[in-house]
Structure 1
């Protein structure tokens, strides 16, 4: 059976295979092939403390190939994380269990990120490494390195095929993130068979082109060879490292080794027995682990707890010598720091002039920057247009990790994954930005933001046909409906300065929900009726003189002022309407039934929605007796004022639409 290290590696394999078999569902191939590299890393080269999984200076590990979740669950169980029991292993993929099909952040102690969409973990790992570099630049002193840890990410051929990994690692190489180490589980198998059918590139050369140190481990079961490569990776402080570890998918199962059939289905009872024979496992009983293996893992965990104890002593000495830095540290990690801005008059102040909400957002970003020292963010090469640059905050780069302005290049998908990683790391409050129409590139990773409960902020400018001359490729139509459809996601489309400030306040004070701000390029007037009530998602911005309005006009963003103008025109014809500003349907839906009835009384069935976007989603407010002034198709290329008139966003059309349902 071999020494204790071999037995400890095989325990990972046995638990993973048994869990998949009992569930009759899952992916045994990756855990069987990668067990050795995972054990070598966790047992001998990674600083982590199962007794305190949230230790700030722990090394991070992301399983980007999240389908191989039983590899991670086996490690967490064997090391004693969060009392993840053998019963939890036996309840793999069952309702309410701590071992769901893919790792879920916040659900299982020790899981650093929700992974499953291949390549996403690669992007998040880059973000974690960027966070470490930034915090180290801010807090470390010559005599104290209080931020000093690595980010490890493990994934296979699928992660490398996904475009997001190339986007993220191109940036990682540019930034010289020397504490990022990628473990490439290279088994040359995907679901359809050999990777030769669709993936023959030289991955190593690709990473060399990105600016990575590249290393190769020829035998994925050779712990000594794996360990040597990890230490060589750590020794290069100026470049991230990619270690190609050549493995056999389904290792240990004679009938499945090296075959695609090992990837995503249970091995079968006979093959499980053959696996245990091959590995010389001392029992055929499911989920059996010898006591000496548990003892080995416990000894390693106990040793790691001492590493944290040493860090705690160092941090105490650091805090005593540098009290101002300790105060700053506490501000970085204070999740309630932004709450006080509700009464900050300067934060809510604005000039009485027409302005684009993207410009107003830029003002807010710089106000937040001065109030929250851990506020970082940037754009996918559009900061001048998105108005997302923080003045005098420096640019995060290989030569200045202390910079707070992040430059993601034209990489919207990776930008969002990376920023999820920034938020997952802890200590930072991040935002990302691009044109609203390109939220299509952002959305898959925004979905993970929602799943993980990360309050990442999305600045999405050029929010409608108001983009104008750039034409339909750059004019969002259905994108707001897409974001409104996301669970646990708040999509704001503010109408003026006050609503823009409210959207930003909501975004940076939220603890569990990502927020998007859809912002105009064109100037909008400051509205007399706008207020902090925008924080309720929807409110009465211009009311009727009657207790029961003749009709209600509902709008968001640039169409709110249009709706108010239409209200005034209707009044001249004896029709008394209420105008409701709906900057965020998601937040409005969270209000009490009484408040929603006050804003949109059920007795008033004559309702019109006005929004220069798709009408999808407005139906629940418009009802059967209402009407829409919205987009029915894509936009066109022409000046914005021409397009608004062309597509019916005029006072005359809104008035006629209201009269048409009276």
Structure 2
């Protein structure tokens, strides 16, 4: 439902026009004039570490339901019952956070359980994902497809209520959380996506996107470095529709936060450029929580951090201690809490009709807002038909939108006669074309734009002053960069990409893993992909990183050998919208090969170079490589042909895609009885599933020009050819049969 500055919000009836609000609440019409609210907003912009402004309290909850306390305690007990039934889980945080969750889901958020993917819904992120019983409780009450039986199956096999929230598994869960800090950092990406989309599509009289992103996080989230990175960027960008409620319960697994976490968090967030508030009594002061959220919503220029001081395990005999953090309370303790709050201690998983009715009103209000929004979109389509069609394609289609027709025609093709380029340079050419063809493409670099070459020609930066921009200056924040891209992907309607040196993917692996688990099709553009980067030395040379990424489920790791394969790598990445892709690119120039094509990259591996078919002599050797080493193996094959040795060269840009090909195809690439040597200027580990011998790295690199490093570590025509002769001789003497490595289905 659109929010107007001259309307007042009532928690039972929604937004009221000023005359009706003045009559209903016995306030003057002057209190509701835009000028008055503008003045109040200026006052609210001042950073506040302490109590709420009087103007915020006046706009707080004006018509309190007598059932709020009942609902909050119901959430507490549902959460405790879930953990008790599973004999596993975390009851303390849900019991402490229940007032915050109730404030959001029953009174403040706009959502539609019958259309959970409604574009303009408010997003909710439970960053402290171990508190998921809280989220499952409110999703059930709000009417999402989560039954009481589902709650009772908490943490059981195939339950809709797993031990941490999973976006692809439970209706209403926006993002997968569990590793602390990832949720808050993804929320930054969601708020960024919302701001960019609003700047692009909102027009006078048509606020298509006005939603907020709400977060509940814990002390642990704020200790993780990734949230510091993400929060710093959020403050710089002025993401005013991001509101974080910090569960300040002063307890971590080790015990009191006095042991390790005594900084002034609100002062830190003020330094980041955030608006800060404090609700001292988060256990009982629902009005204070609601007023704080109202004040946060009124602050549109800065994100808001609300410190809500709570008691972990509120209601337990062990409340306020670490004993309630990660273990069931026990039947006696839960019964005691039920007696104290007026519940029947013999009943478990009980929800009163009054509580269901309270949440049903919130869901109905959201459904009404969704219908009004849809009608607005229909009017928008009349006034702005081109934008409306693009908006519908990006945001309103299933599976996260559909790419525009004909986008693949934008991919450039190359011939062997074209200039040799580093594959990072080819990537720049491809991105220039794709950014014109795909309005959903958004991303940037971790302070390495001149090296990663990820800024398309004419691209506008996303900044506080230019939220319509689509190039993001992530700064030196690799971990948050990846998490923010996850959030943009989760928001929907965007294809995010981000870039750094391949070696520094190590900083981002936590978030890349979330990409893979969550099925987010994020594009990771990783340059300087081998020891070939040269003089920067071992700290920058990614020896093990390709193997780390290749070992991660649901990730496509693509290392193209030339410009055509770069186009093919982007094609693969964009066609695989439910798994992230890492595109590893070279610093040094590589030749374009006559046998490479855009389409063949999708095979994962293919025969790039064959010996001339001038006789019936069988193959003696296969050389398989990726990236810049493919050119080396072609030179080796040409040299060995002069020695009457027939060598096939296989380009293997993507292990994962090759392994998905039919077995007959894989058999054809690596014929029985022909020894295989793999060549890659990175770790030797992993290649043994394809090759009988490997020319690779068994230690870290060194600081020197690339040509000297290649010579030192054996990436020369002479060394690879000598290794080839050695392998052929080993199997030719009759002592050993060439083992066939394609003997798996």
Common fold: TM-score over 0.5:
yes
Q: Is the 8 A contact 2:410 2:437 kept in 1?
A: no
1:281-360 mapped onto 2 (5 Å cutoff): 281-333=343-395, 335-337=401-403, 340-342=406-408, 344=409, 347-349=412-414, 352-360=418-426
Deviation, 1:312, is: 1.2
Q: Does 1:135 align with 2:197?
A: yes
For 1:176, the equivalent position in structure 2 comes to: 238
For 1:264, the equivalent position in structure 2 comes to: 326
Aligned length: 654
For 1:148, the equivalent position in structure 2 comes to: 210
Deviation, 1:336, is: 3.3
Q: Secondary structure at the match of 1:10?
A: helix
Q: Secondary structure at the match of 1:117?
A: coil
Q: Secondary structure at the match of 1:474?
A: coil
Q: Does 1:534 align with 2:604?
A: no
For 1:454-496, what per-residue CA distance to the aligned partner results, in whole angstroms no more than 9, with x for missing partners? 1000000000011111111011100000000010000000000
Q: Is the 8 A contact 2:404 2:438 kept in 1?
A: yes
Q: Is the 8 A contact 1:128 1:424 kept in 2?
A: yes
CA distance in 2, matches of 1:298, 1:265: 32
Q: Structure 1 residues 170, 287: closer, same or farther in 2, change over 3 A?
A: same
Q: Is the 8 A contact 2:188 2:234 kept in 1?
A: yes
CA distance in 2, matches of 1:39, 1:346: 49
For 1:70-121, what per-residue CA distance to the aligned partner results, in whole angstroms no more than 9, with x for missing partners? 0000011111102x11111010011101000000011100000000000000
Deviates more, 1:348-357 or 1:304-313: 348-357
Deviation, 1:327, is: 2.0
Q: Which of the numbers 81, 91, 95 marks the counterpart of 1:18?
A: 81
Runs of 4 or more, structure 1, over 4 Å off, are none
Q: Does 1:595 align with 2:668?
A: no
Q: Does 1:609 align with 2:609?
A: no
Q: Structure 1 residues 180, 346: closer, same or farther in 2, change over 3 A?
A: closer
For 2:25, the equivalent position in structure 1 comes to: none
CA distance in 1, matches of 2:413, 2:194: 33
Q: Structure 1 residues 56, 548: closer, same or farther in 2, change over 3 A?
A: farther
Q: Which of the numbers 113, 119, 141 marks the counterpart of 1:78?
A: 141
Q: Is the 8 A contact 2:523 2:582 kept in 1?
A: yes
Q: Structure 1 residues 345, 387: closer, same or farther in 2, change over 3 A?
A: closer
Q: Does 1:552 align with 2:622?
A: yes
Q: Secondary structure at the match of 1:638?
A: coil
Q: Is the 8 A contact 1:219 1:246 kept in 2?
A: yes
1:371-410 mapped onto 2 (5 Å cutoff): 371-410=437-476
Q: Structure 1 residues 637, 57: closer, same or farther in 2, change over 3 A?
A: same
Deviation, 1:353, is: 1.1
Q: Which of the numbers 618, 636, 656 marks the counterpart of 1:586?
A: 656
Q: Is the 8 A contact 1:332 1:427 kept in 2?
A: yes
For 1:171-211, what per-residue CA distance to the aligned partner results, in whole angstroms no more than 9, with x for missing partners? 00000111000100000000010000000000010010001
Q: Is the 8 A contact 2:105 2:362 kept in 1?
A: no
For 1:498, the equivalent position in structure 2 comes to: 564
CA distance in 1, matches of 2:393, 2:161: 34
1:170-249 mapped onto 2 (5 Å cutoff): 170-220=232-282, 221-249=284-312
For 1:126-181, what per-residue CA distance to the aligned partner results, in whole angstroms no more than 9, with x for missing partners? 00000010000000112111111100111110000001111000000000111000
Q: Which of the numbers 160, 168, 173 marks the counterpart of 2:222?
A: 160
Structure 1: stretches of 5+ with no match in the other structure: none
Deviation, 1:268, is: 1.0
Q: Structure 1 residues 547, 101: closer, same or farther in 2, change over 3 A?
A: farther
Q: Is the 8 A contact 1:341 1:347 kept in 2?
A: no
Q: Structure 1 residues 132, 451: closer, same or farther in 2, change over 3 A?
A: same
Q: Is the 8 A contact 1:123 1:168 kept in 2?
A: yes
Q: Which of the numbers 171, 175, 193 marks the counterpart of 1:113?
A: 175
Deviation, 1:316, is: 1.2
Q: Does 1:448 align with 2:510?
A: no
CA distance in 1, matches of 2:522, 2:512: 9
1:415-434 mapped onto 2 (5 Å cutoff): 415-434=481-500
Q: Is the 8 A contact 2:573 2:581 kept in 1?
A: yes
CA distance in 2, matches of 1:639, 1:316: 61
For 2:14, the equivalent position in structure 1 comes to: none
Q: Secondary structure at the match of 1:116?
A: coil
Q: Structure 1 residues 345, 27: closer, same or farther in 2, change over 3 A?
A: closer
Q: Secondary structure at the match of 2:623?
A: strand
Q: Is the 8 A contact 2:218 2:246 kept in 1?
A: yes
Q: Is the 8 A contact 1:530 1:541 kept in 2?
A: yes
CA distance in 2, matches of 1:435, 1:422: 21
Q: Structure 1 residues 578, 257: closer, same or farther in 2, change over 3 A?
A: same
Structure 2: stretches of 5+ with no match in the other structure: 1-64, 729-745
For 1:543, the equivalent position in structure 2 comes to: 610
CA distance in 2, matches of 1:357, 1:338: 26
Deviation, 1:547, is: 7.7
CA distance in 2, matches of 1:613, 1:11: 56
Deviates more, 1:483-492 or 1:544-553: 544-553
Deviation, 1:601, is: 2.2
CA distance in 1, matches of 2:111, 2:97: 19
Q: Does 1:464 align with 2:530?
A: yes
Deviation, 1:661, is: 1.2
Q: Structure 1 residues 523, 20: closer, same or farther in 2, change over 3 A?
A: same
Deviation, 1:340, is: 3.3
CA distance in 2, matches of 1:345, 1:247: 54
Q: Does 1:27 align with 2:96?
A: no
CA distance in 2, matches of 1:141, 1:130: 18
Q: What is the TM-score normalised by the length of structure 2?
A: 0.86
For 1:256-303, what per-residue CA distance to the aligned partner results, in whole angstroms no more than 9, with x for missing partners? 200001111111111111121222213522211122222222122112
CA distance in 1, matches of 2:344, 2:571: 59
Q: Is the 8 A contact 1:339 1:509 kept in 2?
A: no
Q: Which of the numbers 166, 188, 192 marks the counterpart of 1:126?
A: 188
Q: Is the 8 A contact 1:338 1:508 kept in 2?
A: no
CA distance in 2, matches of 1:160, 1:179: 19
